[in-house]
Amino acid sequence: MTSKAQNKSAASAPVELGSPSARQAFRRRLLSWYGRKRRNLPWRDSRDPYRIWISEVMLQQTRVSAVVPYYQRFLQQFPDMQALAAVPEQAVLAAWSGLGYYRRARALHAAAKIVVAEHGGELPRTAAALRQLPGFGRYTAAAVASIAYGEPMPVVDGNVERVLSRLFAWAEPGRDAAWSMAGQLLARHCPGDFNQAMMELGATVCLPGEAQCARCPVFRWCNTRGRGRPKKQERRRAGHLHYRLAQRDRAVWLVQRSRRASLMPSMWELPEVAKNGAPADLTLRHSITVTDFMVEVSRGEPPSGRGRWVTRAQVEALPLTGLTRKILRRANFI
Ligand code: SF4
């Protein structure tokens, strides 16, 4: 803990958040901090439900810095619900290529078609109605309803859960307790800002590793103040992958994953081959969920089996796996 935080800590015991007036003071403080300190992110300029929805879906399991360029490109390509609903799924997957978790993109596209066909192109205005659409779980429905439409619904993501468990020094943090407490703390007159402020606090101050308590706007109500145990690091596995990079006449040999594959179905990738002992032409690291892969790529002829030659121009329109896109960039193909 920094000396500034120690001074804060020494100066006052935590204030209880049990009374309505204490909760009101907490909300005011958090909202004022959010108004001054929030990051300037492209989706925060807009109240358009469509744009808010796209950002919320992209931000699931993906870092803000990685999302920003995808978000901007995606909106150039599909500026509104009608544009998204009108294109084939492959075009949406191609635009999503590299963001990962492609089930999100399929659900997004399926939901857009339903919204156009059954809701006149406008997203329903309540979390309960949103949850009837593909891809809207408890979090996404509440986030879109509160931020776009001002419905007084709390949200809990990993950031909010961590902030709450530290604020209240919960020995056993849990999602249900966090949802209930987030609902009690919620600023009902501006739920969208309040929800974003809680998430922003977790993303920029009450960090997963070391909490930055000296900068924390809600320090006076916090029961741990940096003494909370950091969350255990996720145990990661190691793996190896070998791919063949076959090129001819400015085209590359790609194969399509099965429609029934549990991971990235129907997406295009370089053919995977057995390691043959020869030194690799390219090596790189790549992480998929909890596994860190060492990836080796060897140039040569296409292996036998299904596949096709794809030109550079065609590659841009195909839904590639993130790893294949990475390899083709490294190989200066795209
Ligand atoms: S940053 Fe520190 S003071 Fe603020 S909520 Fe997190 S642990 Fe508490």
| pLDDT for the residue numbered 11 | 53
| pLDDT for the residue numbered 3 | 47
In this prediction, the residues of the chain whose per-residue pLDDT falls under 70 are 1-11, 173, 228-235, 262, 289-290
| Cα maximum dimension of the chain | 72
Split into its structural domains, the chain has a count of 2
Q: Which residue lies with its CA nearest to atom 6 of ligand 1? A: 206
Q: Is 203 in the pocket of ligand 1 (CB under 6 A)?
A: no
State which residues form the domain around 205: 3-221
Q: Which two tokens stand for residue 109?
A: 């596209």
Residues 82 and 180 in one domain: yes
Distances (CA, A) of 225 to 29, 198, 283: 17, 16, 43
Q: Residue 230 falls within a domain, yes or no? A: no
Integer Cα distance of 306 and 168 in angstroms: 57
Q: Is 51 in the pocket of ligand 1 (CB under 6 A)?
A: no
Q: Which domain-ending residue is among 221, 255, 275?
A: 221
Can you give the CATH number for the domain in which 61 is found?
Answer: 1.10.340.30
Residue 13 per-residue DSSP state: P
Q: Which residue lies with its CA nearest to atom 2 of ligand 1? A: 213
Q: Is 224 in the pocket of ligand 1 (CB under 6 A)?
A: yes
What letter represents residue 71's amino acid? Y
| pLDDT for the residue numbered 291 | 78
Residues 248 and 168 in one domain: no
> Quick count: other Cβ atoms within 10 Å of Cβ 143?
31
Integer Cα distance of 323 and 144 in angstroms: 31
Residues 59 and 153 in one domain: yes
Residues 176 and 107 in one domain: yes
Q: Is 135 in the pocket of ligand 1 (CB under 6 A)?
A: no
- Catalytic residue, chosen from 56, 161, 269, 296, is 56
Which pLDDT tens digit goes with each residue over 92-105?
A: 999 998 888 888 99
- Counting from 1 in the atom list of ligand 1, the atom nearest the Cα of 215 is 1
Q: Which two tokens stand for residue 324?
A: 């294949």
| pLDDT for the residue numbered 173 | 67
Q: Compute the distance from residue 162 Cα to the ligand 1 centre, in Å.
A: 9
Residues 171 and 272 in one domain: no
Residues 152 and 242 in one domain: no
Find the radius of gyration of the CA atoms of the chain.
Answer: 23
Give the list of residues 6+ apart from residue 18 with CB closer than 8 angstroms, or none: none
Can you give the CATH number for the domain in which 260 is found?
Answer: 3.90.79.10
Integer Cα distance of 253 and 311 in angstroms: 9
Is residue 310 a contact partner of residue 252, using CB atoms and an 8 Å limit? yes
Q: Is 70 in the pocket of ligand 1 (CB under 6 A)?
A: no
Residue written as tokens 């309040």?
194
For 165, what's the count of Cα atoms within 13 Å in the CB-facing half-sphere? 23
Q: Which domain-ending residue is among 188, 221, 254?
A: 221
∠ CA 150-156-161 to the nearest 5 degrees? 145
| pLDDT for the residue numbered 172 | 74
Q: Is 56 a catalytic residue?
A: yes
| pLDDT for the residue numbered 235 | 63
Distances (CA, A) of 290 to 30, 70, 146, 327: 34, 23, 32, 20
Q: How would you label 26-65 residue by residue, b for 16+ Cβ within 10 Å and e otherwise?
A: bbebbbebbeeeeeebebbeeebbbbbbbbbbbbbeeeee
Q: Residue 37 falls within a domain, yes or no? A: yes
Integer Cα distance of 247 and 269 in angstroms: 14
Cα dihedral across residues 28, 184, 146, 103: positive or negative:
positive
